[in-house]
Amino acid sequence: MLSLQGFLGTLPILLLSLDINFAGIDANKDVEQHLEMGKKMLAAGQLSDALSHYHAAVEGDPNNYMTYFRRATVFLAMGKSKSALPDLDKVIELKPDFTAARSRRGNVKLKQGALDSALIDYQAIVDKEPGDAEAIGYLTNVDIFVPFLQSCPWDPELRELRADCYIQIGDYFKAVGDIQPTTKLRNDNTAAYFKLSQLYYQMGEADTSLMEVRECLKLDPDHKECFPFYKKVKKLNKQMESTLNFINNEQWEECVRKADAMLTTEPKAHSYVLRAKGHKCHCYAKSGATAEALAACQEVFDLDADNLEALCDRAEAYINNEQYEEAINDYQRAEENGHKTERVEEGLNRAQKLLKQSKKRDYYKILGVKRNARKREIEKAYRKLAAQWHPDLFPEEEKAEAEKKFIDIAAAKEVLTDPDMRQKFDNGEDPLDAEEQAQGGHHHPHWQQGFNPFGNSGFGNFKFHFN
């Protein structure tokens, strides 16, 4: 069964599947809002909240097959396959040719041992898409063993034999489906629980792995293989939970340290190494540590060349470093790979605006502060430059140039210390550009028509006007 941590490891693929054919759904505004909020909660790993929104979406539009499919996806991520099945049944009832739902249902049926039902779904997929290699593989492998399992459904050796075959070809999911029943078919089957725990671990589902190895220890508390494996999985699982908590709380430095601890605990298993390096890429980018972010994101690409989250995180790092063209390239690469998500679209639009804006007045550069500078740093830089460029300090022939410089300094301070105006500027819009604001239908702040940049600075009563 799927878990939160395993689900997060495969999150880009799940999010892509949720978007299949969604563009054509004619849903009312409330349903669309619930679906959008559900997707955001899903992306953040808040499965219970996502489920609540999808419940509301289903109630609001009970004939929308995609609302059922999304809710089924959350149920599966929560390990509630029995709850997911009715939704998958409803999806296929409403849209019989929706192969993604048939594939999910077939996998659940196979895991439950309902081989005949699984065969029906896989055959329907192949009938519609004859080149579907995954469905063909399921049909081929299941057909070989079905006659024997129908005759000997309680034979653990037959299931173990097929599970070993699946393991040899790397199909751990189907191996789990065969090993699971043997825990009941054999008494005190510690070997099966240990193997299940290892398989779930390899699939990136550390919490489910922990659950299975605990079953082994219930039977034998001193099991020579289960006990040390239990300690390792428990430690890693705790580290992963801590890392996600740091991300949710925007504690970027702590996030990086905990991700490094994950790599120390598990330096080899692909799923966990990719996840830990992905966390480092994300947290470095959010912290403004550009060089470290670019290096960490590259390590992710070495493992997964088109990783969506790493592309977006690296793009944000490029933006923080004012490398807007590089950021645009990353967002466009994500789009070309079929990941036209909300994050990608918004990021690309922002990078393009910032590139255009970079050729105009840059308030951060005027004050000489970084884009992630705090208000206190901005005010300190303003006071220093205001004192340096106060017109009273200059002879008459240089006063006009000083006044112009001082007005730019005051404007930069005004924009960057006002949360709304700073947000506009960070999004590629100059709130003091009269032409740009007019095109956007914005009103000019009152001080643009006549304000005193010296008002609170103690430098006099000079008044300047923006033209």
% of the chain beyond a pLDDT of 70: 81
Q: What is the pLDDT of residue 307?
A: 94
**Above 90 in pLDDT, residue 345?**
yes
On the CB side of 175, CA atoms within 13 Å amount to 21
Interval 386-400: pLDDT, tens: 898 888 888 988 888
**Contact criterion met (CB below 8 Å) for 353 and 328:** no
Give me the CATH topology for the region 368-449: Helix Hairpins (1.10.287)
Question: For the chain, what are the domain ranges?
Answer: 4-179, 250-358, 368-449
Task: Please state whether the predicted TM-score (pTM) of the whole model is above 0.85.
Answer: no
> Is CATH 1.10.565.10 the classification given to domain 4-179?
no
On the CB side of 188, CA atoms within 13 Å amount to 5
Domains 4-179 and 250-358 are alike in CATH topology: yes
On the CB side of 25, CA atoms within 13 Å amount to 23
Q: What is the pLDDT of residue 328?
A: 95
Interval 136-168: pLDDT, tens: 666 555 455 555 555 566 778 778 877 876 776
**Residue 268 DSSP one-character state:** S
Q: Which helix (H) or strand (E) holds 180?
A: helix 172-185
What's the rounded mean pLDDT across residues 389-416?
88
Cα separation, 177 vs 110, in Å, equals 7
Contacts of 86 (CB under 8 A, 6+ apart): none
CA 91 to centroid of chain Cα atoms: 26
Burial of 327 (C-beta count, 10 Å sphere; 0-12/13-18/19+): buried
Q: What is the pLDDT of residue 309?
A: 94
**Position 322: which residue type?**
E
Interval 210-223: pLDDT, tens: 999 999 999 999 99
Q: What is the pLDDT of residue 245?
A: 96
Give me the CATH topology for the region 250-358: 1.25.40
What's the rounded mean pLDDT across residues 452-456?
48
